[in-house]
Amino acid sequence: MKACRYISFVVFFGIAGCMTDSGESLPDPIPVSAYLIESAQISARTVTLEVVCSVPEPCWAFARTEQARSGNSYFVTVYARRTTNDPCLQVLSSINASFSTTVEAPGSYTFAFWRYDGTTLDTVLTIR
Kindly report, residue by residue over 25-74, the tens digit of the pLDDT.
Answer: 888 999 999 999 999 999 999 999 999 999 999 999 999 999 999 999 99
Domain that holds residue 45: 26-127
Lowest average pLDDT, out of 5-14, 22-31, 98-107, goes to 5-14
pLDDT at 1: 52
Percent of the chain's residues with pLDDT above 70: 81
Nearest to 80 by CA among 28, 11, 25: 28
Q: Is the pLDDT of residue 4 over 60?
A: no
Task: Identify whether 113 is part of a domain.
Answer: yes
Confidence of residue 2 (pLDDT cuts 50, 70, 90): low
Domain count within the chain:
1
Task: Identify whether 44 is part of a domain.
Answer: yes
Cα(41)–Cα(125) distance, integer angstroms: 10
Cα(120)–Cα(27) distance, integer angstroms: 25
Task: Identify whether 18 is part of a domain.
Answer: no
Classify residue 116 by burial, with Cβ atoms within 10 Å: 0-12, 13-18, 19+: exposed
* Mean pLDDT score across all residues of the chain: 87
How many C-alpha atoms does 22 have within 13 Å on its Cβ side? 0
Q: Is the pLDDT of residue 9 over 80?
A: no
Task: Identify whether 38 is part of a domain.
Answer: yes
